[in-house]
Amino acid sequence: MSGWLIGIVGVVSLGVLIEVLLPEGENSKYIRGIFSIIVIFVIISPLPKLANGDYINGFTSQKQEISIDEEYYISVKSDIQAKVEDNLKQKLEKAGYNDLSFDIQFDEEYVFMINKIVVYDSDIDEQQWLKLKEFLSTVTGNAKVEKA
């Protein structure tokens, strides 16, 4: 593009110079006419190149990804999940379930959402288990509760 611009500016400047230097006379108007045609040629010279459509590729190729800060994401994710686990443990202790071993399976995408709770406690009897299950699902907002 800059070459084209310089071409136009150069041609017009040359024309101005000719206009100043040329003596007044019959021929000057023909020279002016020829000169205008040259200017037109210079102006339309890049048009055939535009027909190729190559200029579009220049933009689509240089795309850059914006990605999340993985390190920070993982550290905050584990923080959040540890806090949820602590919280649940406290609530269970308050309700009288001491030393209950359980495992929380969090959602892959939504870091603070609980998909499933697995309880590792085989001594518990059926009635107690139902009670515990109900308690856990109310506390976690209807999460799935399973016994390992």
Partner 1 sequence: MKFKGKISIYIQYFCIALILCIALVTSVIRPDEICYADNVQDSQEILEDNIDQNLSGLDLESLQRIFESLDGDFKSLFGEDVVTTVKGIIQGTFRGDFSTFMEILLKGLGKCVLDVLPMILTIIAVAIIYSLLEGLTSSFAQKPTRKLIYFATYSAIIVLVMAQVGGIITLTTNTIGNIKLLMESIFPILLTLTTLLGGVNSSAFFSPLMATLTTFITTFISSVIIPFFIATIAFSIVGNMTSSVKLDKLTGFFKSTATYVLGGVFGIFIAFLTFQGLTGGVIDSISIKTAKFALQSYIPILGGYLSDGFDLMLASLVLIKNSLGIVSLLMILGVIALPTLKIIILSLALKLASGIIEPLCDSKFSKMLQSISSNLTLLIVSLLGVAFMFLLTVMLVIYTFNIGIA
- Per CB under 8 A, residues contacting partner 1 are 1-2, 5, 8-9, 12-13, 15-16, 19-21, 24, 32, 35-36, 39, 43, 58-59, 62-69, 72-73, 75-77, 79-80, 83-84, 86-88, 91, 107, 109-115, 138-144
Is the Cβ of residue 33 or residue 48 nearer to partner 1 in the bound state?
33
Contacts of 119 (CB under 8 A, 6+ apart): 100, 101, 102, 132, 136, 145, 146, 147, 148
Closer CB to partner 1, residue 124 or residue 139?
A: 139
116: left (phi over 0), alpha (psi -120 to 50) or beta: beta
Task: List the one residue out of 104, 116, 106, 113 whose CA is nearest residue 145.
Answer: 116
Residue 70 or 99: the one with the smaller Cβ distance to partner 1 is 70
Q: How far apart are CA 140 and CA 88, in angstroms?
A: 8
H helices, E strands: number in the chain:
6, 3
Query: Closest CB to partner 1 among 53 and 126?
Result: 53
Closest CB 122 distance from partner 1, rounded Å = 25
